[in-house]
Structure 1
Amino acid sequence: MPIQKPLAAALAASLVLVLASGDADAQRKRRAAKPAEPAITACSDFYSFVNKDWLAANTVIAGSGRVSALGTLQQQALLQQRALLDEAVLNPQNDVQKLLGDFWASGIDEAAVERDGAQPIASLVARIDAIRRSKDVAPSIAALHQVGIPVAFNFTADLDLGDLDRHIGYFSQGGLALPDPAFYTRDDADTRALLGRYTEYVEKILALTGTPADKLKDEMAMVLDLETRIARASRPITSLRDPRENYALVPTAGFAKQFRNLQLVEFLQAQGVVAENVSMAHQAYFTELDTLVRTLKPAQWKVYLRYQIGNAMAPYLSKDFREADFSFNGRVLRGLAAPAARDTQVLDAINRAAGPMLAREYVARYLPQATRSRAESVAGEVRDALLRSVERNSWLSETARTEARAKLQALKIEIGAPRDDLDFSVQPMGRTSFGSNMLIASTWRHREEMRRIGRGDAQRRWDVLPQQPALAYDLAHNRLVVSAAALQAPILDMSQDTAAQYGSFGALVGHELSRAVDLKGQLVDASGNLRAWWTPADEAAFAGRADQLATQYGAYAYPATEGLRVDAALTREQNVADLAAVELAFDALSAMQPPPDKAAKESFFRAWAGLWREQLAPETATRNASTLAHAPGQWRANGPLVNHPAFIETFGCKAGNAMMRKADEQVSIWR
C-alpha cells in the first residue's frame, strides 16, 4: 500500500487543520445547571464569549475524544465523498466514476468480501510459492512493489534535494511490519511483551495464508529471524527525520555488479523507471540485503514474503484477516478500542489506493468557480499584506528583506486541486472482490508515482488530496496549497460577510504564508536553493519575539486537564504562526476600500475565534498537552488577540481585563 514520503512531508511546512487525531463520535448533551458564575465578556475570555452557545451544546465524556469546528468540517468532507461514491454506484457519468462506484460497492458488500476470503491474494501467494532458487527471490520482491506492497526495502518518488523541481527515486530501508527497527532488538520488558503479541499476530497471518498448524511455530520463527536481520541492518528511526541525511545520489550503472543478488537494475525496469541516478543514502543496508538473498534459504524468503502479503492486505480481506489485523495493528500498536465502521474503512482504503481518482470527481462536484475565485482573491490580498509587512519590518536585515521580497513576489497560490498529468486508464474493476480492486487501484497508484521519477515540474502534483481539508505552505516549491475540501464553512463560508472570510480563511492563509519567511522558510531562497538567507541578527530578533510569546503561552492552563499548562516549547512554532495569521489577515482587511468599520472588525475577530472551538475529553486533553504541536483551541483563539491593538480597541478592553495586555508587553511578528 502507498507509503509516506518523508522528504516531501518535511518540505511541506504544515497542514494547519491538524485533523490527524480526528474527532471521535462524541456524545453530545446539554450541560446541567451550575451555580451562577461571573459573566463572560469579550474582554475576559473572547473564545468562550464567541463560542458560548456551541460550547454549551457540544460536550464530550471520558473515552469519547474530541469534538471541534474543524473536525466537523472533516466529517462533512467525508460525507461528501460518500455521497459522490453512492451516486457513482447507481449512476456513473464517466469511466472514473464507474471505477469508483465498483470499488465502493465491492467494499461495502460485506457478504461478498466474506465469500471472497483470501482469493484476492491467491495469485500473489502462488507466485511466492513458486520460488525455488535464490535468484527467484528478487523478481518476486519487484513484483510485490509493483502492486503497492513494499517488501525488503522502500522505493519511492521524492524531491531531488539538488533540484527541487524534479523527483528522483529513493531507495531506503523498510521491509518490517513493526514501525521501529528497535522493537526487534531491544531487551526491555515492554518491548519483549510487544514482541510476544507480535509473534501471535505473525502466526495468525501465516495460518490464514496457508501455513499448516504443525508448521506455524517454525515459520513464525523464520519471519522473525529475517525481519530481525533487516532491523539490525537498519538505521535508528530518529536518523530518518533529516532529509539531508537520507539523500545521496548514486549512479545506477554499477548496480548490476554491486547488487547482483538483489537485482536492482531489473527492479527499476520492473517499476518502469529509467534513471541514471537514484538516491541511496544507506548503501550498507542494501549490501546486507543482497547478502541475505544469497545466503538465506529460498524457503525462508518464501515464508517472509507470503507473510508480508497477508500483513499488507489483511485490512481489505475477509473478517478473519481484518480481526487479526485490528487485534495487533489497531489495538496493540495504535491503542484503538474498536475498529472503525465498515464504510469508514472502505472510504479510507479508496483514498489510500485511488485518492487522485476520487479527487478529480470531488473537485468537479464540490468546488464552484465562484468559491475558487474568492479564495484566490483573499489569498492574494494576504500575500500582499505580508509583502507590506516585510517592507516596513523593523527587525529584518536589509539582506533578508531583499530575499523575502523576492520570495513573496515569486510565491504561487494553488487553489482546489493541483495541475497533474495522471493517466486514469486502469484495469476494469468489478463489484464482487474488494481485495482484488484494492490491488488494481494500488497498482495504478504505484505506476503513477513511478512516472514522477526523472521528470521536471514537480509542482504538477501535491502531497495532499483535494478531498481532504488542508492548507499548507510548500517550502520546496514556494507555493500555498489550499485543498477543495477546505473551501467551505467554517474556513471559507460564502454566506458570511467579507470581514468574516478574512478572519477565518484569510487568517489561515496568513498562518501558512508566514512560513515562507520564518525560521524554516529562510532555509530555501527565492530561486529554490537550499541555503540560509537570514543573518545571525535576524535569527536572534525572531527568537526574542518567539521567546516572549512562549512566556505568554506557558502561563495558560490546558483545558480539561488537572493542573497542566500549555507546553510553550512544543507549541512555539505554531503559536508564532497563529500570531502572524491574525496580523496579516487583519492588515489585508484594513487595506480594503472602504476601510472596515467597527462591525466589520468585530466580524473578523469573531470568525477567527469560531475556527478554534473544541471540546476535549480529559484523557484526550492530557495526551494532547504532551504531544500536539498546537495550543488548545481556547488559546489559539485568545493568544494572538491579546497582542493585537485593533482587537483591544474594537471591543473596548480596559486595564485589568484578561484580554488586555499593556502595549510594551504585546508581541508582534509582522504587525
Structure 2
Amino acid sequence: MSNLRPLAIALGISLLTLVAAPDAHAAPKKKAAARAPAVSAQCSDFYEATNATWLKTNPVPQTGATTALGQLADRTRQQQRALLDGAMTAPQGNVQKLLGDFWASGLDEAAVEADGSNPIAPLLTRINAIKKAKDVPASIAALHQVGIPVAFNFAPDVDLKALDRHIGYFMQGGMGLPDPAFYTRTDADTVALMGRYRNYVKQVLALTGTPADKLDAESQSVIALETELARNAQSLAGINNPFNNYAPISTKELNSRYRNLQLEAFLKAQGVNDDLVSLSDPALFKQLDGMVTRLKPEQWKVYLRWRVGDAMAPYLSKAYRDAEFEFRGRVIRGQTLPPARWEQVLDAINVAAGPMVGREYAAKHLSADDRRKAALVVDKIREVQIDAVKRSTWMSDEAKTEAQAKLAALKIEIGTPLRDLDYTVQPMGRGSFGGNMLIASTWRHREEMKRIGKGNADRRWDVLPQQPALAYDIAQNRLIVTAAVLQSPVFNAKGDTAELFGSYGALVAHELTRAIDAKGALVDAKGELRSWWTPADKTAWTLFGNRVAAQYSGYDYPGVKGAKVNGELTREENLADLAGLELAWEAYKAVEPAAKPAAQQGFFRGWASLWPQQLSPNVAAQRLSSDILAPGRWRTNGPLSNLPSFGATFTCKPGQPMQRVDNDQIKVWR
C-alpha cells in the first residue's frame, strides 16, 4: 500500500544501519620479562576493549543479526507498543483515541477472522461493476485514492529542476513481483518462482470470489496482463536512476496523449491541481493506454480484484495472511516465521498512519531539554565544519564559498517534521481492522498528494519520528534527527559531554559532511542541481577515497574466513566516518578545552559503543558482497587509527594497531 519513490532513494536520506559481526578475539599471551611491554588492549583493538561485555552478553546468533543499533530499534518498537496499549485503554486526546481503536481492532484476531473479506467488499463491488473499457480508468483512480496503486505508480517526489517543490511522477508499476525481469526470464529458478507466484495468485483470487473452475484461466489472465506491463518496464537499475524518471510534462498534454487512461481525471481524483507532472516513459504509458481498450473488461476486473486482495492480504483474515506469508514472507522476504501479531499490527499502523504515531511518540519520549541539547550539538558541529572549510588546503576558493553558503543555509529538524499534518481523518472504530487500514491509508495518500506543488517539498520526512534515524536530506539541504534516535547508545542525555560528542556528535558530523562531499556538491546552496566542485576538488576527494579504500581493503572481514573488507564498496561511508570524527573531536575540544585525557576517553568510547554487532555466518557472507557499510569493528578502529588525538588520549605509539604512523594517516578536515 505504498508507492515507489526512486528519487528519494537517489537524492534523499541515508538511514543509520548496522553491519557485520566481530569474530572471536584471543586473549593476549603473556610476554617474557625481557621483551617489550605488551600493547595495551585499547591500542591493540579498541572495538574489542570497549565492547567486551556487550560481545560476551550477545553471542553470535545462528541466524540473523544482533547489533547495538538494532537493539535500539527493537526498544523503540516496544515503546510504540506501550504507547498504543495506553492509547487503547486510556487515550489522551483525539489522535490517541483513533490510534487506540486502530490498535485494538488489529489485536482482536477473532474479530479480524469474523470480518473475512468484508473490508474490501466495497472495492470489489465497484470493480465487479465494470462493464465497458471507459469504466476501467475510474476504477484505477479510485484504488490509488485508497493507497492501492494499480496499473502504474503515481507519487510525489522532488522536481529535479526546482528542488524546493515536489511534482507527481507517473511511473511503471502494477506488477505483483518486485523485478520486471521475473516475468521474462526462462531459467529454472525463475520458472520455479513463477509457479509459486501463480499458486499465490490463485489463492487470492479464490478468496475474492473466483469459482474453482475458473482459477487456472483467471490466474493466467492476471499474469499475462502483468507480463505485458513488465515487457515495457525499465530494469530495477534503470528505475533507481532519478534522471531516467524525470521528464516534466504539462498536465494539459496528458489527455491528448493518453485519452483512454483519462489521466487528467485521475489527477483530479487524487486532489492534485498542479500544472506539471513527470512522465518519463511515454512508450510504456502508450502501451497501457492501448491496453485499456484492447483487453476485455473481464480481464481488467480479475486483475484489479487480485491487486486489491494482494495489497490488503496482511490485514484481513487468516486465510489471506497465510497465503501472503507463504509467498511474500518465505519466498520474497526470506522469513522463516511470521512476526508476532502485535508486530504485524504495529507494522500495518506505521504503513498507513505512521505520522500519527510519530506525533504521539515524540510527545511522550522526547523532552524539550533533550531537543534543545541535541540542537546545540548540531549547531556546534556546523560551526566547526564551516571553520574547517575555510582553512581547507584541498578545497578550491570557489568550492569553499559555496560550501560555506550551503552549510549556513542548512535546515535542522529535530524530533518531528516542522510542518504538522492534518489529522482530521474519518473516525476509526474497533470493529474492522481492515476497514481501519483503508481509512488510514486513504488519509496517508491524501497527505502524500498534498506534497505536490510549489513550496510543499519539505512538508514531511521520508522517515518516521519513531524510527531511529539521523540523516541528511540532500534535496532539501536539511538534517533530520528523529525523536527515536535520541536515546542510548546514540544520545545519552545523562552521560558526559565527551561521550555525547563521540556518539551523537560524530554521527551528526558524518551526515553534515554529506552536504559538501562529492554527492552534496551536485546541489548548490540555492537548491539548484549543478556541480559546484572544480576538477581539482573532485580529484582531491577521489584521492581521499582511494586511500581510505586501500586502508579498509587490508582488514579481515569478521565472520567470513579468508575474506577482506571491500574497500571500494564501503569507501564513501568510511570517508564520512573519518571526516565526522575529525569534526566531532574539534567541536568537543571547543566545548571542553581543558578536559584531561581521562575525561577525553569518553569521546572515543561513545563512538565505539555504536558499533558492536554479532552476525550469523550467512548474514556476514551476504553483507560482505553487498553492504556499503564496513563491519562494526572497522567502523570503530579504522577511523580512530587515523586520529592523533586517539593515540594521545590512550598513549598509543605510532605503528601500533590503533595508531597509524603519521605518513599513513588520512586527514580530511584537520
- TM-score class normalised by the smaller sequence: over 0.9
Is the 2:134–2:260 contact (alpha carbons within 8 Å) kept by the matching residues of 1? yes
User: In 2, distance between residues paired with 1:500 and 1:593?
Assistant: 12
Equivalent residue for 1:437?
A: 436
Aligned to 1:58: 58
2:184 aligned residue: 185
Counting only pairs closer than 5 Å after superposition, residues 85-234 of structure 1 correspond to structure 2 as 85-234=84-233
SS in 2 for 1:273: coil
- Specify the alignment match of 1:415 in structure 2: 414
**Matching residue's letter, 1:420:** R
Q: 1:295 to 1:351 in 2, by over 3 A?
A: same
Query: Does structure 2 conserve the Cα–Cα contact (< 8 Å) formed by 1:589 and 1:596?
Result: no
State the distance in 2 between where 1:4 and 1:284 align: 20
Structure 1 residue 524 displacement after superposition: 0.5
Matched residues in 2 for 1:403 and 1:90: separation?
54
* Residue 243 (structure 1) aligns with: 242
Q: Is the 8 A contact 2:464 2:482 kept in 1?
A: yes
CA separation in 2, counterparts of 1:78 and 1:454? Answer: 34
Distance 2:240 2:509 in 1: 27
**Corresponding residue of 1:640:** 639
Offset at residue 278 of structure 1 (A): 0.7
SS in 2 for 1:275: coil
Q: Give 1:35 shift.
A: 8.1
Distance 1:134 1:540, change over 3 A: same
2:561 maps to 562
What CA distance in whole angstroms lies between the structure 1 residues aligned with 2:558 and 2:25? 20
TM-aligned CA deviation for residue 422 of structure 1: 1.6
Q: Look up the SS of the partner of 1:482 in the other structure.
A: strand
Q: Using the alignment, how far apart are the partners of 2:533 and 2:511 within structure 1? A: 19
* Partner secondary structure for residue 131 of structure 2: coil
**1:18 matched residue in structure 2:** 17
Taking the aligned partners of 2:459 and 2:482, their CA distance within structure 1 comes to 14
My pick for the range that moved more, 500-509 or 35-44, is 35-44
How far off is 1:143 after superposition?
0.6
Which deviates further from its counterpart, 524-533 or 254-263? 254-263
The offset of 1:626, in angstroms, is: 1.1
Separation in 2, partners of 1:234, 1:605: 49
The number of aligned residues is 661
Higher relative contact order (CA 8 A, sep 6+): 2
Q: 1:355 aligns to what SS in structure 2?
A: helix
Q: CA deviation at 1:530?
A: 0.6
> What pairs with 1:509-528 in structure 2 (closer than 5 Å)?
509-528=508-527
1:217 and 1:401 map into 2 onto residues whose CA distance is: 65
The alpha carbon displacement at 1:658 in A equals 1.1
Is 1:382–2:381 an aligned residue pair?
yes
Which residue of the partner structure matches residue 472 of structure 1?
A: 471
CA distance in 2, matches of 1:332, 1:460: 36
Secondary structure at the aligned position of 1:459 is classed as coil
- Give 1:637's aligned amino acid: T
After superposition, the C-alpha distances for 1:462-515 in whole angstroms (9 at most, x for unaligned) are: 111111000111111111110010111111101100110000000000100010
Aligned to 1:28: none
Tell me which residue corresponds to 1:5.
5
Structure 2 partner of 1:331: 330
Distance 1:553 1:352 in 2: 38
- % same residue: 57
Q: How does 1:587-666 map to 2 (within 5 A)?
A: 587-666=586-665
Distance 2:529 2:27 in 1: 59
Q: 2:46 and 2:28 mapped to 1: Cα distance?
A: 19
How many Å apart are 1:12 and its aligned residue? 2.0
In structure 1, what residue type is equivalent to 2:534? T
In the other structure, the counterpart of 2:33 is: none
Q: How does 1:24-43 map to 2 (within 5 A)?
A: 41-43=41-43
How far has the Cα of 1:339 moved from its partner?
1.0
**CA offset at residue 13 of structure 1?**
4.2
TM-score, structure 1 as length reference: 0.96
Q: Distance in 1 between matches of 2:381 and 2:293?
A: 59
Counterparts of 2:196 and 2:374, CA distance in 1? 50
Distance (Å, rounded) in 2 between the aligned partners of 1:4 and 1:583: 37
Task: Answer yes or no: is 1:353 the counterpart of 2:352.
Answer: yes
Distance 2:592 2:43 in 1: 28
AA aligned to 2:137 is A
Q: Aligned with 2:306: secondary structure?
A: helix
Task: Give the superposition deviation at 1:37.
Answer: 5.2
Q: Which amino acid aligns with 1:192?
A: V
Determine the structure 2 residue equivalent to 1:488. Answer: 487
Distance 1:22 1:441 in 2: 37
How far 1:4 sits from its partner (Å)? Answer: 3.2
Counterpart of 1:257, as a letter, is S
Aligned residue number for residue 27 of structure 1 = none
- Residues 249 and 62 from structure 1, CA distance in 2 versus in 1: closer, same or farther, beyond 3 angstroms? same
Q: Which residue of 1 aligns with 2:34?
A: none
CA distance in 2, matches of 1:314, 1:644: 53
Deviation at 1:617, TM superposition (A): 1.3
Consecutive unaligned residues in structure 2, runs of 5 or more: 31-37
Note the aligned Cα RMSD (angstroms).
1.7
Matched position secondary structure for 1:42: helix
What is the letter of the counterpart of residue 552 of structure 2?
Y
- Counterpart of 2:348, as a letter, is A
SS of 2:413 mapped into structure 1? strand
Indicate whether 1:501 and 2:500 are aligned: yes
Secondary structure, aligned partner of 2:657: coil
Letter in 2 for 1:126: T
- The Cα shift of 1:256 comes to 2.5
- Of stretches 423-432 and 306-315 in structure 1, the one that deviates more from structure 2 is 423-432
DSSP 3-state at the match of 2:629: coil
Cα gap change, 1:357 to 1:129, in 2 (>3 Å): same
Query: SS where residue 460 of structure 1 aligns?
Result: coil
Q: Distance in 2 between matches of 1:629 and 1:655?
A: 29
- The answer on whether the counterparts of 1:22 and 1:71 sit within 8 Å (CA) in structure 2 is no
What SS class does the counterpart of residue 154 from structure 1 fall into? strand
Which residues of structure 1 form unaligned runs of 5+? Answer: 24-30
SS of 2:591 mapped into structure 1: coil
Counterpart amino acid of 2:57? A
The letter of the residue matching 1:335 is G
Separation in 1, partners of 2:522, 2:329: 38
Tell me how far apart the structure 2 counterparts of residues 305 and 578 of structure 1 sit (CA, whole Å): 47
User: What are the within-5 Å matches in structure 2 for residues 573-592 of structure 1?
Assistant: 573-592=572-591
Question: Matched residues in 2 for 1:641 and 1:141: separation?
Answer: 55
Deviation at 1:171, TM superposition (A): 0.6
Give how far 1:423 is off.
1.2
